[in-house]
Structure 1
Amino acid sequence: MTLSVPKRVLPTIVFAQFAGTSLWFAGNAILKELQSEWVLPEDALAAVTSSVQLGFIFGTFIFALLSIADRFKPSRVFLLCALTGSALNVSLIILPPSYFVLLSARFLTGIFIAGIYPVGMKIASDWFEGKLGKALGYLVGALVLGSAFPHLLNYTGSSLSWKFVLIGTSALAVIGGLAMLFFVGEGPHRRKGSKFNPAKIFEVFKVKEFRSAAFGYFGHMWELYTFWAFLPVMLVYYNETQGTSLPPSLFTFIIMAIGAIGCVLGGFISVKKGSAKVAYSFLMISGILCLVSPLIFNLNETFFIATLLVWGFAVIGDSAQFSSLTAKTAPKESVGTAITIVVSIGFLLTIPSIQLLGYLATVIDTKWLMFSLFIGPLFGLVHTKKLIKENITKA
C-alpha cells in the first residue's frame, strides 16, 4: 500500500533546511564590518570560513558515532540544533570582541549545523524513501539559499549594524526548527539506520563504483565552498580595477542563490540523462570557468556578472547528483558509514582549499585565485567519467 505524503511536508522541509543553514555563512557576510570594528587580521576570511567547516566536520562525526538521529526523534534533534546554533550565532553580539571569540563561536555553530543539514536529509528520507532522489535537488537548493541569505541580509541592512544579520539569521533558524517539529515530524519510513563503523572506512573504498562517485564528489567540494567564500573578494577586486560600484553583498547573494535553480534543474534532467552525466556536465562548466577566470575581470560589467551567474549555477548543480551516486554505489550493508565518511572527507577538503586561496591572496593578484581551483574539477571529472563508462547513471 502506497502511503500518501501530505503536500505540506516537502515545502516545509525545504524551508526548514533553508532557514537552518542560513547560520552557515552569517560570519562571512559580516566579516568586513567586524574587521573594522574588532580590528581583525586582513586574512581573517579563510580562518572564519574554515572554523565553521571544522565544526561541521566534527559535529558530523559526533552525530554519527552516537547515532543521535537514530536514537532520538530527528525532528526534535533538528529543533534542538537550530535553537543551539542560533544562540551561538547571535552570541557574538554580547561576547567580548576578539578574534578568538569569533573563531570559537563559528566553530561551535558549525557543530550544530551538523544536526540541521544532514538530519534534515534523514527526515526527508523517512518521508520519501525510494523517491528521495526527486526531492534531493530541492533540499540541496535549500542549502544554497540558506548559505546565500546572510549576504542578502547584510545588503538590505547595510544602513544598520552587523548585528542585524546575526539576529535575522538566528530568528530564521529558530522558525525553521519549529516548523520541522510541528509541521513535518517523523516520517512513516523511519527506522534504525546503520551505525557508523570505523572498520568499514577502508572497505567501502574498495568498491570501484563507490570510489569513483566519492572522488568525483571530493573534486566538486574542493571548488564549491572556496568559490562561495571568495566571491565577495572577486567582486571587490572588480570594482577596484574597473571603477565600478557593484554591491558585493547583493551580488554574492544572487550568484550563490542561482545555484538553487541549478540543483533543481539538475534533478529533473537526471531523471532522463542520469546523475553521472548531469554531474559531469556541471563540473565541466565550472572547471572551464576556473581556467578562464583571470580573463573575466577584463569583461564589461554585464558580461562579468553573467559569467559569475553561470558559474554560481554550475558550481553547486552537481552536488545533489554526487550525493545520489554515492548513496547508490555504496555497499548496502554500510550505507551509513559510507555516506558519513564521504561527506566528512568532502568538507574536510574545503579547509586546505580555502586556506590555500587565503595564502595565495597575499602573494598573487586576485584575478589568479580561482584559476588555482581547477585541480578540483579536473580530479572530479576524471573519476565521474568512469561512472559514465560503467553506465552508473541512474541514482
Structure 2
Amino acid sequence: MSIAVPRRVLPVIVLSQFAGTSLWFAVNAVMPDLERAWQLPAGAVGTLTSAVQLGFVAGTLVFALLMVADRFRPQRVFLACALAGAALNALMLAVGGAFGLLVLLRFAVGFALAGVYPVGMKIAASWYRQRLGAVMGILIGALVLGTALPHGLRALAGAAPAGAAADGLAPWHLVIVGVSLLAATGGLATAWLVPDSPQATRGAPITPRALALIWSDRRLRASIFGYFGHMWELYAFYVLVPLIVAGRTTGPAASAVAFWTIAAGAAGCVAGGLLVRRFGSASVANFQLGTSAACCLAAPLLMAAPWPLFLVWLLVWGTTVAGDSPQFSTLTAQNAPPAVVGSVLTFTNCIGFAISVVSIELFVRAAQAWPLAYLLPALAAGPVLGLWMLRPLLRGLPAAGPSAAAPPASR
C-alpha cells in the first residue's frame, strides 16, 4: 500500500542526517591544531577515531538489544542522541588536552551516533518502503557529506590570526562549536518536522541465529563479506586523507582538498543508486569496489603525480570508496531472511565497524614508520577480498534456504 508522503520529509531527514553525522570526524578535521595546542601523543588521530567507531559499535548493540527506537518515538530518540552528541563534542573544548578524557568523549560521541545514523534510516524506511534503494543512496550520501563537513568548516575558518592562542581563540574552536550547533539543529528539525509514518512497524528482537546465517547462507555471505572488505578500506582512507594531502599542500587549502575528496563519496552513493535499476546492486558495488582497489594500488605512482592528476585520483578514490555502501546494505537486506533481517544488519554493521578499528590502528601506526606511498596499496586487501566474495552474486547463484524469499531492503 502506497501512502502520501509529505514533501518535507525526505529533505528534512537528509539534512538532519548530514548535520548529525558531522560529529563523526569533527576531531580529525582539526587534528593538526590539536597536536599543536595540546601536544597529543603520536598516533592520536587513530586512537580518537577508533574510539568513535567502538562507541558506535557499543551503541548500536545496546540500542538494538533494548529496542530503543521501538520503545520510544524514533524522532525523539534521534533528537536526544543528536543533542547529546553535540554537547559531548563541544565539551571537548573544556578538557584542556587531557588525552584520556578526550578518548572517553569521542567514545561517547560514537555511542550517541548510534541513535542518529541507524535511527534516521529507520525513520526514512518507515516512509519510503517502495523506493528505499534510491532513498538509501541519498541518505548514505548525506552521511558522507556530514563526514566531510568538518574539513570544509576548517578550510573556511582559515589560518589562526596572530595572538589567537593568547586570547584563547582559534579557528578550530569555531569548527567544533559549528559542528555541535549543526548537529543539534538537525535533531530539532527531525523532532519537529518529521511526523510518524502510518506504515511504521515494530522491529524484531535481536537473535543470535543471525550470526550463523552470516556464514552459512551463500548469497548472504557474499554480500556481507563484500561489505567487510569495503569497511577495511573506507574509514582508514578517511583518516589518512589529511596525511595524503599534507604531502602536497598545507593549511586551509589542505582542509579544502580533504573536504572535496571525502564529499565526492556522496556523488558516488547517489549515482550508484540511480544505476541500480539498470545494472543491479551487485554489479554497481563490484564496479565501485574494483575502482577503489585500483586507486589503492596506484598510490605509489600518483602520490607524486602532477597536481591535476593527483586531484583526479583523490576524487575518483573518494567517489568510489563510499559509493558502494548503499548497495551492500541493500544486498544484505535482500538476501537475509525477513524474520532476522534486522539482526543480520545489526551484527553486520557492528562487525564491519570493528574491522574498521583494526585497519585504522594498523595504518595510522604504520604511517609513523613508513611512507604512505608504500602503505596505501595494502588498503586494497579489503576490496580485493570483497570482489572475490561478491562473485556468487554476479553469477546469479540461487539462494540457499529461506533467504531466497527475502524482500528488497525495507528497513
Task: Map 1:334-345; keep pairs closer than 5 Å.
Answer: 334-345=340-351
Counterparts of 2:14 and 2:387, CA distance in 1:
29
- Give the corresponding residue for 1:359: 365
Q: Deviations over 1:118-144 (max 9, x none)?
A: 000000011112321120110000000
In the TM superposition, residue 391 of structure 1 has moved relative to its aligned partner by: 5.7
- Give the corresponding residue for 1:144: 144
Task: Map 1:317-356; keep pairs closer than 5 Å.
Answer: 317-356=323-362
Are positions 1:156 and 2:156 aligned together? yes
Task: Map 1:125-204; keep pairs closer than 5 Å.
Answer: 125-158=125-158, 159=160, 160-204=170-214
Q: Alignment partner of 1:162: what SS?
A: helix
In the TM superposition, residue 194 of structure 1 has moved relative to its aligned partner by: 1.0
Task: Map 1:54-93; keep pairs closer than 5 Å.
Answer: 54-93=54-93
- Give the corresponding residue for 1:22: 22
Counterparts of 2:73 and 2:19, CA distance in 1:
20
TM-score (norm 2): 0.92
- Give the corresponding residue for 1:273: 279
Query: Residues 268 and 392 (structure 1 numbering): CA distance in 2 closer, same or farther, change over 3 Å?
Result: farther
Are positions 1:287 and 2:293 aligned together? yes
Counterparts of 1:143 and 1:68, CA distance in 2:
22
Q: Alignment partner of 2:368: what SS?
A: coil
Report sequence identity in percent.
43
Selected match of 2:233 from 223, 232, 236: 223
Counterparts of 2:215 and 2:333, CA distance in 1:
13
Are positions 1:109 and 2:88 aligned together? no
Residues 85 and 112 of structure 1 are in contact (CA less than 8 Å); yes or no, is this contact kept in structure 2?
yes
- State the one-letter code of the partner of 1:221: M
Q: Deviations over 1:306-365 (max 9, x none)?
A: 110011011111000000000000111111110000011111100110111012112211
Query: Residues 211 and 116 (structure 1 numbering): CA distance in 2 closer, same or farther, change over 3 Å?
Result: same
Selected match of 2:248 from 219, 238, 259: 238
In the TM superposition, residue 161 of structure 1 has moved relative to its aligned partner by: 3.0
Q: Alignment partner of 1:130: what SS?
A: coil
Q: Alignment partner of 2:234: what SS?
A: helix
In the TM superposition, residue 6 of structure 1 has moved relative to its aligned partner by: 1.1
In the TM superposition, residue 174 of structure 1 has moved relative to its aligned partner by: 0.8
In the TM superposition, residue 97 of structure 1 has moved relative to its aligned partner by: 2.4
| Larger displacement relative to structure 2 (89-98 or 100-109) | 89-98
Counterparts of 2:397 and 2:188, CA distance in 1:
42
Residues 279 and 321 of structure 1 are in contact (CA less than 8 Å); yes or no, is this contact kept in structure 2?
yes
- Give the corresponding residue for 1:207: 217
| Larger displacement relative to structure 2 (130-139 or 76-85) | 130-139
Which runs of 5 or more structure 1 residues have no equivalent in the other structure? none
- CA-based RMSD of the aligned residues comes to 1.6
Q: Deviations over 1:259-310 (max 9, x none)?
A: 1011000000001110000000000000011111111022111110111001
Which runs of 5 or more structure 2 residues have no equivalent in the other structure? 161-169, 400-407
Q: Alignment partner of 1:369: what SS?
A: helix
Query: Residues 161 and 97 (structure 1 numbering): CA distance in 2 closer, same or farther, change over 3 Å?
Result: same
- State the one-letter code of the partner of 2:22: S
In the TM superposition, residue 198 of structure 1 has moved relative to its aligned partner by: 2.4
| Larger displacement relative to structure 2 (279-288 or 177-186) | 177-186
- Give the corresponding residue for 2:256: 250
Residues 12 and 179 of structure 1 are in contact (CA less than 8 Å); yes or no, is this contact kept in structure 2?
yes
In the TM superposition, residue 150 of structure 1 has moved relative to its aligned partner by: 0.4
Are positions 1:299 and 2:305 aligned together? yes
Query: Residues 307 and 218 (structure 1 numbering): CA distance in 2 closer, same or farther, change over 3 Å?
Result: same
In the TM superposition, residue 207 of structure 1 has moved relative to its aligned partner by: 1.3
Q: Alignment partner of 1:191: what SS?
A: coil
- State the one-letter code of the partner of 1:188: P
Residues 244 and 372 of structure 2 are in contact (CA less than 8 Å); yes or no, is this contact kept in structure 1?
yes
Q: Alignment partner of 1:193: what SS?
A: coil
Q: Alignment partner of 1:205: what SS?
A: helix
- State the one-letter code of the partner of 1:213: S
Counterparts of 1:67 and 1:245, CA distance in 2:
44
Query: Residues 156 and 22 (structure 1 numbering): CA distance in 2 closer, same or farther, change over 3 Å?
Result: same
- Give the corresponding residue for 1:310: 316
Query: Residues 298 and 197 (structure 1 numbering): CA distance in 2 closer, same or farther, change over 3 Å?
Result: same
Selected match of 2:394 from 344, 368, 388: 388
Residues 237 and 366 of structure 1 are in contact (CA less than 8 Å); yes or no, is this contact kept in structure 2?
no
- State the one-letter code of the partner of 2:143: L
TM-score (norm 1): 0.96
Q: Which consecutive aligned stretches of 4+ in structure 1 deviate over 6 angstroms post-superposition?
A: 392-395
Counterparts of 1:197 and 1:72, CA distance in 2:
21
